[in-house]
Amino acid sequence: MISLPPGIIILVGALALPLLPRSAQAIGALALPAISLAQLLFLSEGVFPGIELAGLSLLQVRVDPLSLAFGYIFHIAAFIAALYALHVRDTVQHVTAMLYVGSAIGAVFSGDLITLFIYWEITALASVFLIFASRTQRAYQAGIRYLIVQIGSGVLLLAGILLHYHDSGSLSFDQLIGPDGNLSDASAGVWLIFAAFGIKCAFPLLHNWLQDAYPQATVTGAVFLSAFTTKLAVYALARGFPGTEVLIGIGVVMTLFPIFFAVIENDLRKVLCYSLNNQLGFMVVGVGIGTELALNGAVAHAFVHILYKALLFMSMGAVLYRTGTIRASDLGGLYRSMPWTAAFCIVGAMSISAFPLFSGFVAKSLTMSAVAEGYYMLTFIGLLIASAGVMEHSGIKIPYFAFFGHDSGIRCKEAPWHMCLAMGAAAVLCIAIGWFPQPLYALLPYPVVYQPYADFGHSVTQLQLLLFAALAFVVLKRTGMYPAEQASLNLDTDWLYRRAAPRVIRKIVAVSRQVGQAFLRTGSELGRTLMRLVLNHYGPEGTLARAWPTGSMVLWVAVLLGASLILFYL
Amino acid sequence: MISAQLPALQVVVPLIAAALCLVLSRPLAAWTLTFLASAAAMVVSFLLLGAVMDSGTIDYAFGGWAAPFGIAYRVDLVNAYVLMIVSTISTVVSVFARASVASEIEKHNQGFFYTAWLLCLTGLLGIAITGDAFNLFVFLEISSLSSYVLIAMGSDRRALTAAYQYLIMGTIGATFILIGVGLLYALTGTLNMQDLAERLPDVSGTRTARTGFAFLTVGLGLKIALLPLHLWLPNAYAYAPSAVSAFLAATATKVAVYVLLRFVFSVFGVEFALGAMPLAIGLAILGAIAVLSASTVAIFQENLKRMLAYSSVAQIGYLALGISLATPAGLTATILHLFNHALMKGALFVALGCIAWRIGSSRLQDFAGLGYRMPWTMGVFVVGGLSLIGIPLTAGFISKWYLVLAALEKGWWPIIVVIIAGSLLAVLYVWKVVERAYLAKPPEDATRAEAPPSMLIPAWLLAIANLYFGFQTHLSVGVATRAAAELFGIAP
């Protein structure tokens, strides 16, 4: 049992789930991560050879501190999400969620690129069903778009692997970038692999699938989705591209641009998606700096981020589950009906905002210190701005509009017990890590000498930043400077930005939407024309699909014989 | 010793069984005989493959007449491999055939059906095993004539037209092959393939040799259904009885490809066939067009048997691409795909047969909610479909992997693009079925009802084989590599 590759237990178990009676499937799904985690605890470090396939050694397993850190948190997240999904009576969701979890874990422990690719594709194929499972037309379409992007990433990855194999003769999944961290020197194969990782990591301009698809997922599906896909990409970057300079710039942009979108968004789960993007930016910066401290920061951030992001998605999911809506303009005042959910949500919000004594703080401090240590001045300022932005859209906007603010008049029941239990578990972990960061630090790939609370000034700086953000919110609220009942709510009219910024952004959004629509119109015209052409030739009654008379078949034979005679005589 | 007579038994057992079958004519008896004869042929083919792998090529003089005068059988790795594919598929599909045939063919015709099946099997095995060019033509006619009969027995009235067209085209193809063999005989005075191979290089500059080569390749192109000579195939597979579609799709074109390999590599030799003659570039172009255009046609087909038939035309394109590379690696990919394609098309057609048995249709519109009504059958279809696409851990991936590697080695980039585009098109037509079966609402009156075990077990055997040979490639890749090396004349 100990020599099994991690993740296999969950994958095989997932396929066996349909054999259980429908009511027991949820419990089965809960048991799988627990069993698999027990197996993981017995694994010793090292690289284990896999099976021989087509002359290559595949299914290699690599266990080292980096993969173990991700392995542990993936198991914990899977367990919490499965607990949260205990009420679901849908075989498809249970099976695909567990396939998704198992393949994500398998990918983290894969020692060669082909294995990585295989698991990479299974995560894409399995996770899309968590979106389809909403069984609405919008979800179906968003799921198809998601699938196209994810498969596209897989195709790039496979192409990159083939080229890389051709160039270097190695399939091992190690550092792919050169020691100087310069991507422009890398081979085409490495570029393609980088692009594949970038899509899955939702790099700026490659990020749209995330905000498009995740809000359409089921209540429980979104919790699974928030934890695995993008963090798998962060892991892959940390493994293959540590110290790649260009990642620093990409990461900073990633932390900044989603803020603008998050503040003008009405769908609260979509706000969380933008904030997910922003958080990934911090990890990407950490990977890009590539020092031991920075990599530790990225891994620690991924670890705690999975917990509090899942917590936030769970609390918003609970609201959606009970009220049937997730639009900020329709919600408000729910703290009366759902006090526990509200409390858990606030814990998640404070963690993501990196309040001292919450988990986000102890992880983000590592990254920030690494940035400061490397004298990346602009990056540091960018990340500071982003931190304040996180406070605005995730720290205040999410709990405020769902649970406080204008009373929507909705009165519903508290979330079901198992949801509360799952949220409670995540919340406890968030606080515990904030108080006692040492166990987390012990899991990190490199030794940590860092004491987050030793430098008192840092805590104070962070508090000041957060309190000013909160102050801005209160001042604006008191002076009534934004209308609370509009469907489109903007919170970023604060001291960080000029007041006109949202309007400009809305204008830009409107213009770009128009341009986009014009583009789409032209595109669909072109598409229709093309489709007509294709149907004429390939359709059920098209030229190439028709049943042909025997005479024309014989004609083809004559043509071909003549052609080959001429060719062969030449 | 019986083991010395194995090459003869390979052909004689099904031939005698066919004759017996005609006498018995009762459905159950005829079926039992068919199954037993197929199974016996399978055992013989495995023994032959083992013997060839251990001790090299087996020569067998039929009736004790030495080679230049009598008919020589010659079993090397390539045809031992093909014999194994044909007889194994026949055995597995014949298990499935019993229930399927009982529901699709009138009782008094079933005896004839099994007789034709056994004759077809005899013909296919004979083509593969013989070392004599004229004998090959005879077996080709046996298998063709019996397959016209098999197709004509389809319950759809269009089966008759389809069989008629196949008959015309098949006869033209066979005639071309005969003309080609005749020209070679006129030139060299021998019909034995080994002798032909020895004497042809001296006369390969002559017009006669080139004309013979042209007739042979076009005739075989017809039998293989290489685009644009594929027009007979879609209707023939679509309207044939389910079991026949599964059997022929997995074996008939494979054997024809084998004959092409035999003539190109063993008789004419690589230098002449792929070097001096522009056959390689022709195969590459036609193969690439076949992959792209037939896959696109398949996407829009409403009749799923017809869809799979077009997909077969596309798969033949891959086989042609592998040959056109003219390298041992490319040839390995082709030989490997012969095997893997037999597995996936076998699984898919058998699954369609199960569905046709239960709901009496293979039209896409009747597939709504089938994933819930026939979960086990649709499971087979999904596995076969994944393999057809070439998803990793299925047999189809292994084929495509080797083909891509071979193309990379040769540096033919456009071929890699074609292979990837072909896989994406396959995703579309497989997804179309999966979407309808799993995401569409079943009709109100639909209940959950599976096919009987006698159909499901062979279906799952094929599906599991698709998965098994997706990661355990010792047999499939190992033999294909050695067979390709042998055809190239490199030491095994």
Q: Which residue has the higher pLDDT, A207 or B422?
A: B422
**Contact in structure between B318 and B419 (CB atoms under 8 Å):** yes
Which of A137, A556, A559 best probes binding to B when mutated, by most B CB atoms within 10 angstroms?
Answer: A556
Give the tens place of pLDDT for each residue, A66-101. Answer: 999 999 999 999 999 999 998 888 888 899 999 999
Rounded CA gap, B393 and B389, in Å? 11
CA B363 to chain centre: 24
Token digits of residue B87: 């007889």
Rounded CA gap, A185 and A183, in Å? 5
Rounded CA gap, A385 and A281, in Å? 13
pLDDT of residue B278: 82
* Facing residue for A556 by CB, picked from B210, B231, B301: B231
All residue ranges of chain B with pLDDT < 50 are: 492
Contact A538 B168 (CB under 8 A): no
Q: How confident is the model at residue A501 (pLDDT cuts 50, 70, 90)?
A: low
Rounded CA gap, B391 and B340, in Å? 13
Which of B164, B176, B231 best probes binding to A when mutated, by most A CB atoms within 10 angstroms?
Answer: B231
B235 touches chain A (CB under 8 A): yes
Rounded CA gap, B358 and B371, in Å? 13
Tell me the C-alpha to C-alpha distance, in Å, between residue A422 and each of A38, A133, A307, A346, A403.
20, 21, 11, 15, 19
Q: Domain residues of chain B, as ranges?
A: 278-492
pLDDT of residue A142: 85
Give the position of tokens 């009709």.
B443
Nearest to A397 by CA among A344, A345, A341, A463: A345
Find all residues with CB under 8 Å of A526, minimum gap 6, and list them.
none
Asked whether residue A126 carries a pLDDT value surpassing 60, the answer given is: yes
Token digits of residue B199: 């004497």
pLDDT of residue A151: 87
pLDDT of residue A489: 39
pLDDT of residue B67: 66
Give the tens place of pLDDT for each residue, A371-380. Answer: 888 777 888 8
Token digits of residue A35: 């069993």
Contact A540 B404 (CB under 8 A): no
Q: How confident is the model at residue A525 (pLDDT cuts 50, 70, 90)?
A: confident
User: What are B60's strand-pairing partners?
Assistant: B73
Rounded CA gap, A150 and B398, in Å? 22
Find all residues with CB under 8 Å of B467, minimum gap 6, and list them.
B383, B393, B394, B395
Q: Is residue B224 left, alpha or beta, with left meaning phi > 0 and alpha meaning psi from -120 to 50?
A: alpha
Q: Which residue from A minimizes the CA distance to B228?
A: A556
Asked whether residue A500 carries a pLDDT value surpassing 70, the answer given is: no
Rounded CA gap, A140 and A132, in Å? 5
A129 touches chain B (CB under 8 A): no
Tell me the C-alpha to C-alpha distance, in Å, between residue B382 and each of A16, A462, B422, B435, B463.
17, 54, 18, 11, 9
| CB contact burial A92-119 (16+ within 10 A = b; e otherwise) | ebbbbbbbbbbbbbbbbbbbbbbbbbbb
* Facing residue for B473 by CB, picked from A54, A538, A565: A54
What's the pTM value of the predicted model, to 2 decimals? 0.62
Asked whether residue A462 carries a pLDDT value surpassing 90, the answer given is: no
pLDDT of residue A483: 38
B392 touches chain A (CB under 8 A): yes
A449 touches chain B (CB under 8 A): no
Tell me the C-alpha to C-alpha distance, in Å, between residue B308 and each of A240, A569, B45, B250, B460.
41, 37, 28, 11, 18
Terminal-to-terminal C-alpha distance of chain B: 28
B47 touches chain A (CB under 8 A): no
Share of chain A above pLDDT 90, in %: 20
Q: Which residue from B minimizes the CA distance to A544?
A: B297
A565 touches chain B (CB under 8 A): yes
Token digits of residue A279: 């958080």
Give the tens place of pLDDT for each residue, B425-483. Answer: 888 888 888 888 888 787 777 778 888 888 889 999 999 998 888 877 778 888 888 88
pLDDT of residue A3: 64
pLDDT of residue B487: 84
Q: Which residue has the higher pLDDT, A35 or B275?
A: A35
* Facing residue for A557 by CB, picked from B172, B293, B427: B172
In A35-85, DSSP assigns E strands to 46-48, 51-53, 56-58, 61-63
Classify the C-alpha dihedral A415-A421-A424-A425 as positive or negative.
negative
Q: Which residue from A minimizes the CA distance to B234?
A: A547
Torsion on CA atoms A78, A79, A82, A84, rounded to nearest 10: -110
Rounded CA gap, A395 and B71, in Å? 87
Nearest to A234 by CA among A182, A296, A302, A297: A302
Task: Work out the number of other CB atoms within 10 angstroms of the CB of residue A435.
Answer: 11
pLDDT of residue B492: 44
Find all residues with CB under 8 Å of B31, minimum gap 6, and list them.
B94, B97, B98, B101, B110, B114
* Facing residue for B231 by CB, picked from A166, A535, A553: A553
pLDDT of residue A58: 66
Asked whether residue A493 carries a pLDDT value surpassing 70, the answer given is: no
Q: How confident is the model at residue A52 (pLDDT cuts 50, 70, 90)?
A: low
Q: Which residue from B minimizes the CA distance to A561?
A: B218
Nearest to A151 by CA among A190, A122, A193: A122
Task: Work out the number of other CB atoms within 10 angstroms of the CB of residue A54.
Answer: 15
pLDDT of residue A502: 57
Token digits of residue A307: 């917990």
Give the tens place of pLDDT for each residue, A161-194. Answer: 988 888 888 888 888 887 777 777 788 888 899 9
Whether a cis peptide bond, with omega within 30° of 0, leads into A399 is: no
* Mean pLDDT on A34-44: 86
**Contact in structure between A159 and A209 (CB atoms under 8 Å):** no
Q: Which residue from B minimizes the CA distance to A543?
A: B297
pLDDT of residue B297: 86
ipTM of the complex: 0.76
* Mean pLDDT on A480-487: 48
Q: Is residue A415 left, alpha or beta, with left meaning phi > 0 and alpha meaning psi from -120 to 50?
A: beta
Identity of the amino acid at B308: L
Nearest to A381 by CA among A300, A304, A465: A465
Coarse DSSP helix, strand, coil percentages of chain A, rounded to the nearest 5 percent = 70, 5, 25
